[in-house]
């Protein structure tokens, strides 16, 4: 899933050779790449077109901070300082994050009007002195975000960690700080306001569902906002092609409208809405966080905002809106393994969402919601079972596609009306087995213990579901996993070096992934409850080291944590907890884990870990983590 650090380059180079050479030595056990160019780490990212690049430019951004400060003092207005990134950041996706803000909140008329008329808008990175003065240091401030300063440079408001963009919510948070008394509608454009408000009301009343006749009417939208919203409705109905057509028509009809510029980004697949970061709908009243008298907000919901039951309902609603008509989920642009690996990323995410939907259906009492969850899960199962959706030539992310689809199909075998499902499960199981290297490891980008652990856990689920699993392959994998473990319980980030003794290993650095590796050893009967409990306790003890990386999209420290590790480690920890047989000990671990999870929902009740993996992945993993440690009162 992730890039290695420079200190591991030599080791990983050697191991990467093993990925290519060892399958040949294994007598053709590994599926061979028929097209080497399809196993590329090249990242082909969409470039915004001319209209997309206009997004955010309707705001009167001042060129530099000193000019903004002078203007603020002259006009007596606060400075609205948008901070797209900070010096020394760990973020890989800086351009994408900036795009989400420009084509998100900074494209809506109400916010444009408020910022232009009530503030002096400034967009730029802080200097070294400003980093210290305003606390814009890594870990303390996670981009994207903004500051609101008085003309004497006193802080009035800080916002960061904005991974869920709800434009009306952001407007309501900023307005009282900058003296904006108008409502969202009043501050927005007055053109066709009555029609626009009626359209908003209708979409919310119908849960963003339009019939074919209504969608066809939007090929000649009344204004840019109605065209944009209609495309959004089509997208949420799984009709991606129609959504793009409406957005493109909107761009042609209203080329000078900021919302058409936003529509251009959505049509290109780089806008915050299609990526799942921009949401709409009613939210509970939010209580802003206060830090030393300064108003501070993030897009994380304040503690106690939602009950577990509400989280399940809201998270499932979000996931249902993101499903494509094909059954797949495509919001993730996780391309660390190269653009050619994205089909496998999408299979993995879709499988995880499918598993979460099956868990949700079990907890749901409403018959219609149960039906929708099962229907969506069945569409997802058909998508992941289709071999044509995978890139078998990719050697970077194929493990996650195969392991998670095996787990999903195993979970779905007796739950979904999919007659050929057992055959699909058996075929996927064999394909996962065939990814094993001669030394017993599985790999992603390079061989490692956590990929091996994930594969072995998937094979256990397959066997439990009735699939035939090779004992020889499992034993070889378990043997390899045991050899990678240090006496302290730590596992290496990549592989143990030949000169490393059993007393080595960084327990803090591997605390998050220990349950990932210990879980299959317990499942396959190689370690005791006490051994598994020790690994869980270590993960909980050093949880803050993992939590510090949440919402980053790259490695964040020499401990090799990153946002993309967060829910991956959390889900394995929850599943490991569920296997502890001692009721009191299991309950103690589960309560601690459950408390951690319930502090993490976003303002809309969904979840996230990093920008490029996407909110569907984060939400699915969070629900699976919660399901493993929930209580009877959590169930509807």
pLDDT at 584 exceeding the cut of 80: yes
Q: How confident is the model at residue 423 (pLDDT cuts 50, 70, 90)?
A: very high
Is-cis flag, bond preceding 144, omega within 30?
yes
pLDDT at 35 exceeding the cut of 70: no
Task: Provide the 10 A C-beta neighbour count for residue 221.
Answer: 23
Q: pTM for this structure?
A: 0.92
pLDDT at 6 exceeding the cut of 50: no
Per CATH, 52-188+291-297 and 196-267 having the same topology is answered no
Stretch 470-495: mean pLDDT: 95
Q: Which pLDDT value is given to residue 190? A: 59
pLDDT digits (tens, 9 = 90+) for 84-98: 999 988 888 999 999
pLDDT digits (tens, 9 = 90+) for 353-405: 999 999 999 999 999 999 999 999 999 999 999 999 999 999 999 999 999 99
pLDDT digits (tens, 9 = 90+) for 250-261: 999 999 999 999
Angle separating helix axes 615-629 and 583-598, nearest 10 degrees? 150
Q: Which pLDDT value is given to residue 204? A: 84
User: 3-class SS at 166?
Assistant: coil
Stretch 176-185: mean pLDDT: 93
pLDDT at 572 exceeding the cut of 80: yes
Q: How confident is the model at residue 194 (pLDDT cuts 50, 70, 90)?
A: low
| 135 φ/ψ sector (left φ>0, alpha ψ -120 to 50, else beta) | left
Q: Which pLDDT value is given to residue 192? A: 61
Q: How confident is the model at residue 32 (pLDDT cuts 50, 70, 90)?
A: very low
Q: What residues pair up with 80 in beta bridges, in sequence order?
A: 121, 148
pLDDT digits (tens, 9 = 90+) for 425-435: 999 999 999 99
Q: How confident is the model at residue 500 (pLDDT cuts 50, 70, 90)?
A: confident
Stretch 198-202: mean pLDDT: 83
Q: Which pLDDT value is given to residue 218? A: 87
Q: How far apart are CA 573 and CA 594, in angstroms?
A: 11
Q: Which pLDDT value is given to residue 635? A: 64
Decide which of 499 and 132 is more confident.
132
User: 3-class SS at 426?
Assistant: helix
Task: Provide the 10 A C-beta neighbour count for residue 15.
Answer: 21
pLDDT at 119 exceeding the cut of 80: yes
Q: Which pLDDT value is given to residue 284? A: 77
Label residue 52 exposed, middle or buried (CB < 10 Å: 0-12, 13-18, 19+).
buried
Q: How far apart are CA 436 and CA 439, in angstroms?
A: 8
Q: Which pLDDT value is given to residue 155? A: 95
pLDDT at 566 exceeding the cut of 50: yes
- Per DSSP, 173 falls in state H
Q: Which pLDDT value is given to residue 419? A: 81
CATH number of the 196-267 domain: 1.25.40
Q: Which pLDDT value is given to residue 10? A: 36
User: 3-class SS at 97?
Assistant: helix
Mean pLDDT of the chain: 90
Q: How far apart are CA 513 and CA 500, in angstroms?
A: 19
pLDDT digits (tens, 9 = 90+) for 468-477: 999 999 999 9
Nearest alpha-carbon partner for 413 in 385, 448, 450, 454: 385
Q: How confident is the model at residue 282 (pLDDT cuts 50, 70, 90)?
A: confident
> Which runs of E-coded beta strand occur in 399-528?
443-444, 446-447
Q: How far apart are CA 262 and CA 266, in angstroms?
A: 6
Cβ proximity of 608 and 275 under 8 Å: no
Stretch 502-507: mean pLDDT: 81
pLDDT at 18 exceeding the cut of 50: no
Stretch 225-244: mean pLDDT: 94
Stretch 148-176: mean pLDDT: 95
CATH number of the 52-188+291-297 domain: 3.40.30.10
pLDDT digits (tens, 9 = 90+) for 66-89: 999 999 999 999 999 999 999 988
Q: How confident is the model at residue 16 (pLDDT cuts 50, 70, 90)?
A: very low
Label residue 506 exposed, middle or buried (CB < 10 Å: 0-12, 13-18, 19+).
middle
Q: What residues pair up with 120 in beta bridges, in sequence order?
A: 79
pLDDT digits (tens, 9 = 90+) for 313-339: 999 999 999 999 999 999 999 999 999
Q: Which pLDDT value is given to residue 600? A: 97
Q: How confident is the model at residue 286 (pLDDT cuts 50, 70, 90)?
A: low
- Per DSSP, 26 falls in state T
Decide which of 284 and 245 is more confident.
245
Q: Which pLDDT value is given to residue 1? A: 43
Q: Which pLDDT value is given to residue 636? A: 55
Q: How confident is the model at residue 505 (pLDDT cuts 50, 70, 90)?
A: confident
Buried b (16+ CB within 10 A) or exposed e, 405-427: bbbbbbbbbeebebeebbebbbb
Decide which of 479 and 25 is more confident.
479
Q: How far apart are CA 361 and CA 358, in angstroms?
A: 5
Q: How far apart are CA 284 and CA 281, in angstroms?
A: 10
Q: Which pLDDT value is given to residue 38? A: 66
Antiparallel, parallel or unpaired: β 294-297 and 443-444: unpaired
Q: Which pLDDT value is given to residue 538? A: 97
pLDDT at 9 exceeding the cut of 50: no
Structure tokens given for 407 = 């787990």
Output the CA angle 317-566-137, nearest 5 degrees. Answer: 110
pLDDT at 166 exceeding the cut of 50: yes
Q: Which pLDDT value is given to residue 203? A: 87
pLDDT at 185 exceeding the cut of 70: yes
Q: Which pLDDT value is given to residue 558? A: 73
Q: Domain locations in the chain?
A: 52-188+291-297, 196-267, 485-636
């Amino acid at each position: 899933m992730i890039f290695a650090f420079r200190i591991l380059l030599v080791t990983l180079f050697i191991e990467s050779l093993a990925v290519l050479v060892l399958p040949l030595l294994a007598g053709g056990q590994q599926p061979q790449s028929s097209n080497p160019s399809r196993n590329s780490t090249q990242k082909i990212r969409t470039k915004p077109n001319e209209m997309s690049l206009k997004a955010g430019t309707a705001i009167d951004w001042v060129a530099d901070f000193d000019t903004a400060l002078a203007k603020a003092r002259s006009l007596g207005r606060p400075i609205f300082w948008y901070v797209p990134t900070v010096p020394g950041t760990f973020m890989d996706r800086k351009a994408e994050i900036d795009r989400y803000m420009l084509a998100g909140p900074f494209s809506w008329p109400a916010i444009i009007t408020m910022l232009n008329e009530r503030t002096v808008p400034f967009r730029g990175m802080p200097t070294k002195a400003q980093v210290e003065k305003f606390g814009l240091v890594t870990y303390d401030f996670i981009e994207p975000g903004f500051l609101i300063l008085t003309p004497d440079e006193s802080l009035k408001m800080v916002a960061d960690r904005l991974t869920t963009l709800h434009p009306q919510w952001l407007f309501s948070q900023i307005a009282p700080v900058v003296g904006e008394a108008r409502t969202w509608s009043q501050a927005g454009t007055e053109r066709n306001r009555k029609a626009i408000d009626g359209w908003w009301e209708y979409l919310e009343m119908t849960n963003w569902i339009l019939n074919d006749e209504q969608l066809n009417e939007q090929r000649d939208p009344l204004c840019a906002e109605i065209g944009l919203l209609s495309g959004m409705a089509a997208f949420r109905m799984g009709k991606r092609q129609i959504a793009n057509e409406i957005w493109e028509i909107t761009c042609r009809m209203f080329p000078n409208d900021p919302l058409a510029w936003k529509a251009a980004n959505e049509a290109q697949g780089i806008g915050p809405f299609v990526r799942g970061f921009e949401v709409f709908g009613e939210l509970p009243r939010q209580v802003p966080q206060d830090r030393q008298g300064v108003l501070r907000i993030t897009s994380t919901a304040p503690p106690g905002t939602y009950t577990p039951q509400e989280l399940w309902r809201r998270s499932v609603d979000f996931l249902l809106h993101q499903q494509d008509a094909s059954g797949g989920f495509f919001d993730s642009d996780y391309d660390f393994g190269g653009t050619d690996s994205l089909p496998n990323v999408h299979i993995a995410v879709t499988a995880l969402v499918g598993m979460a939907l099956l868990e949700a259906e079990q907890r749901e009492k409403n018959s219609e919601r149960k039906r929708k969850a099962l229907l969506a899960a069945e569409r997802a199962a058909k998508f992941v079972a289709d071999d044509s959706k995978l890139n078998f030539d990719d050697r970077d992310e194929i493990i996650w596609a195969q392991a998670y689809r095996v787990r999903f199909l195993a979970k779905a075998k007796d739950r979904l009306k999919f007659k050929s499902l057992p055959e699909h499960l058996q075929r996927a199981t064999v394909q996962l087995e065939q990814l094993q290297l001669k030394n017993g490891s599985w790999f992603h980008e390079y061989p490692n213990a956590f990929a091996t652990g994930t594969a072995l856990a998937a094979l256990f689920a397959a066997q439990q579901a009735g699939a035939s699993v090779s004992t020889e392959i499992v034993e070889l994998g378990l043997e390899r996993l045991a050899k990678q473990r240090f006496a302290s319980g730590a596992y290496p980030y990549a592989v143990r070096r030949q000169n490393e003794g059993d007393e080595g290993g960084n327990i803090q650095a591997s605390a998050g992934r220990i349950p990932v590796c210990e879980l299959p050893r317990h499942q396959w009967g190689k370690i005791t409850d006490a051994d598994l409990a020790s690994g869980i306790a270590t993960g909980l003890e050093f949880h803050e080291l993992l939590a510090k990386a949440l919402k980053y999209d790259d490695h964040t420290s020499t401990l090799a944590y990153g946002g993309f590790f967060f829910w991956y480690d959390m889900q394995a920890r929850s599943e490991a907890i569920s296997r502890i047989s001692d009721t009191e000990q299991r309950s103690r671990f589960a309560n601690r884990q459950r408390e951690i999870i319930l502090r993490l929902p976003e303002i809309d009740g969904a979840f996230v870990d990093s920008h490029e993996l996407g909110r569907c992945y984060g939400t699915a993993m969070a629900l699976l983590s919660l399901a493993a440690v929930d209580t009877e009162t959590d169930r509807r």
